[in-house]
Every structure is written in C-alpha cells, then in structure tokens.
Amino acid sequence: MTETLSPYLPQIWLTIIGFFLLYYAVTDGYDLGVGIISLWTRHEEDRGVLMNAVSPVWHGNQTWLVVLGGMLFGAFPPFYSILLSSLYIPMVVMLFGFVFRGIAFEFRGHARKKRLWSLSFGIGSLVVTLAQGFALGGLLGGLDVRNGRFVGTPWDWVNPYAALVASGVLCGYVMLGANYLILKMEGDLQKRNFRNAIRASLLTLLISAGVHLWTALRYSQVARKWTHVHDSYAIAFFCVLALVSFTLVFCSLAKRREVAPLFWNVAVIIFSFTALSAGLYPDMIPGGIATPVTVREAAASAKTLIFMLGATAVLLPVILTYNTYAALKFRGKV
C-alpha cells in the first residue's frame, strides 16, 4: 500500500490542503463577510444581531485556518516557510485583525459601551479579509524564490494584480456573508442583505473573471493549458460550472429564496478555485519572477506524509461529524 501510494503522496496532500483551504474560505468567509457588512449597519442593536448570527460558529470556522496552517506546515514545510516569511507583512497584519475580530464577541458581552467592540468585530474582519486577499494576490502573483529561499523584499505583495485579487476576496466574503445572513435573518435585515448579496455577487463575478484572465496572461503555463485542447477541457469545465452556479445565485436571489443563494455561492467558490488551481498546477509558488516551486519539491518526507495521511483519514470524518452536529444545533433564525 505504502509503495503504491508514495509517488502520489504530494498530490494527495495537495488535494487535502485544498479542501482545508476551501472549507476555511467558505465558513470563515461568511463570518468575515458578516463582520464587514456590520460596518455599514447603522443601529447598534442590529450589529448585535449580526454578531449573534456567527457567535456560536466563528471559533470553529476560524480553527480551519489553524488546521490548514498546521497541516500545511507538516505536509509542505518549505512552502509554509517561504509563504509566511515572504508575505510577512500581510500575514502579521492578518494576525492582528484576528485578535480584534475574535476578542470582540466575548468583550462585547461584558462591555457597557457595545459600540467599541462591534467596531472591533467589523474592522478586525475587514483587516483579516484584506490581508488574506493581498497574501493570496502576492502568492498568485509569484514570489521571488531562488534556491529554495525567498530573495524578494517584504513589500513585493503591493502591486495592482494583488490589489485586484484582494478586492475579489473582499467582494467574495461579503457575498458569502450576505447570503449567510439571508438564511439567518428575518424582516428588514434580511431584505437589506438581499440587496447586499446582489451587489456583492455582481462585483465578485466581474473581479474573478478579471483575476482569471490576468493570471492566464501572466503565466505561460496557464495560457498554454487554456489553448491546449486536452487541458483546456478540464479548466473550461470548471469555469462553466462556476458560471452556471453564478447564474443560479442570481436566480435564487431574484426569487427571494433563503437557502439556495448560500448553496450556489459555495459552489461558485469551489469551482472557480478548482479552475484557478488546475491552471497553476504543478506549481505551488508560481514563478512570476524566478524559478517556480513545485508540489513535489515542497513536500515533506514520504514517511511523514503517510503517517499524517493515516491520522487524517481517521480524524477528518470525526471532525466533520461533530462540526455538522454543532452547526445543526444552532440552525434556524437568530
């Protein structure tokens, strides 16, 4: 078993890591989106309602990032090291954003001046989102890696391409947040979020189309895959699915459905993420400037990958079970 598996271990782990990333982006994405929406929610009471919509689940959702970080560290140590050290500024800024977002729930409950802590929730969420967006943009834009070491400057992530990716992440999270709130809210707050969702979805569609195009123009291997018949089918397949899901998001929003928008929103993220990663594969760090780092080079030893795979195969179903259980206990309107 070990012998047959070992050539594919890095790919298997890339898929698992991709799953963690998607799970995190979707679940904490709506928490962060709710936080950003709270920034233009006028009444303090309403902001409290928004926070209550995520308070039982945000901690579990955020933990997928810790899982993602830990597993990435274990499965791809060099990638983890290069990614975090070369994107030092957005990563550290994200950590500070998490401090203010996370602390807001408990502190708001105890505070006499609620305003301060709902602001901490909103601004913290915005800071985390932008930092993640710029970090993703910095990574997709290519890191200057030579001989396994980052040799660029700490400010390389400041560029128009990364800014476009960051605005895409921002709109995407707001879209998720609004669709989640449609599910959890009633009356006026729900109505307002139908509006939020439509606007954010439109912007997300435009920006993500822009990101896909710009990425294809930047990297020859992406462009090649788009023009090679065999490869382009696979990518086009996911792009079409993403577009169909987008259409269904709009349709269900127009029909004022409560569950469907969130469902199709998740589908949009899964399909467009898959299309984007399929274009870049096998590079983990695309070589925008210097030599790219591939999946194989970045992986840990086969021994560790097998060991982690065994543990994950047992743990992941358990985690998903109790996560679903906890989420079901808090279903329904706030």
Partner 1 sequence: MQELVNPVILSRLQFALTAMFHILWPVLTVGLSLFLVFMEALWLKTKHRHYYQQIRFWNRLFLINVAVGVVTGIPMEFQFGTNWSVFSTFGGDVFGHMLGFEATMAFMLEASFLGVMALGWNRVSPGLHFFATCMVALGASLSAFWILAANSWMQTPTGGVFQGGRYVVSDNLAAIFNPDMPWGVSHMWVACLEITVFVVGGISAWHLKKKQHVPFFLRSFKTVAVAAIVITSLQIWLGDGSGLSIAKTQPSKVAGIEAHWKTNPPGEGASWHIVAWPDIDKQDNAWDLSIPNLLSLLTTHSLTGQVPGLRDFPREDQPPIVLPFYAFRIMVGIGFLLFFLMLWTLWTWRRGRLTAGETWKQKNLLSAWMAAIPLSYLAMEAGWVVREMGRQPWIIYGVLRTEHGATNIAPGPMIASLSVFAIVYLFLFLVTMVFCRRIIRQGPDLQ
* Interaction site with partner 1 (CB under 8 A): 55-57, 59-60, 62-63, 65-67, 69-75, 77-78, 80-85, 88-89, 91-92, 95-96, 98-99, 102-103, 105-107, 110-111, 148, 150, 153-154, 300-301, 303-304, 307-308, 311-312, 315-316, 319, 322-323, 326, 329-330
Q: Which residue carries 């834009």 as its tokens? A: 141
The nearest distance, CB 229 to partner 1, in angstroms, is 39
Residue with smaller CB distance to partner 1, 156 or 283 = 156
Residues 107-139 as b or e (16 or more Cβ within 10 Å = b): ebeeeeebeebbbbbbbbbbbbbbbbbbbbbbb
Residue with smaller CB distance to partner 1, 229 or 314 = 314
The nearest distance, CB 269 to partner 1, in angstroms, is 21
Residue 322 sits at φ, ψ, to 5 deg, of: -75, -25
Q: Could you tell me if 135 and 94 are in contact, meaning their C-beta atoms sit under 8 angstroms apart?
A: yes
- The SS3 of residue 19 is helix
In angstroms, the CA 255 to CA 32 distance is 26
Residue 160: count of CB within 10 angstroms of its CB: 10
Residue with smaller CB distance to partner 1, 46 or 297 = 297
The nearest distance, CB 167 to partner 1, in angstroms, is 23
Residue with smaller CB distance to partner 1, 80 or 273 = 80
In angstroms, the CA 232 to CA 125 distance is 37
The nearest distance, CB 306 to partner 1, in angstroms, is 9
Residue with smaller CB distance to partner 1, 105 or 194 = 105
* 282 prior amide bond cis, ω within 30: yes
What would you report as the CA-atom Rg of the chain, rounded to the nearest whole angstrom? 20
Mark residue 221 as left, alpha or beta (left: phi above 0; alpha: psi -120 to 50; beta: remaining): alpha
Give the 3-state secondary structure percentages of the chain, helix then strand then coil, rounded to 5. Answer: 80, 5, 15
The nearest distance, CB 283 to partner 1, in angstroms, is 18
The token duo for 260 is 């469907």
Residue with smaller CB distance to partner 1, 65 or 162 = 65
- The SS3 of residue 285 is strand
The nearest distance, CB 10 to partner 1, in angstroms, is 13
Nearest residue to 121 via CA among 180, 193, 214, 53? 53
In whole angstroms, what separates CA 258 from the centre of its chain?
23
Residue with smaller CB distance to partner 1, 180 or 219 = 180
The token duo for 334 is 């706030």
The nearest distance, CB 315 to partner 1, in angstroms, is 5
Residue with smaller CB distance to partner 1, 53 or 216 = 53
The nearest distance, CB 48 to partner 1, in angstroms, is 14
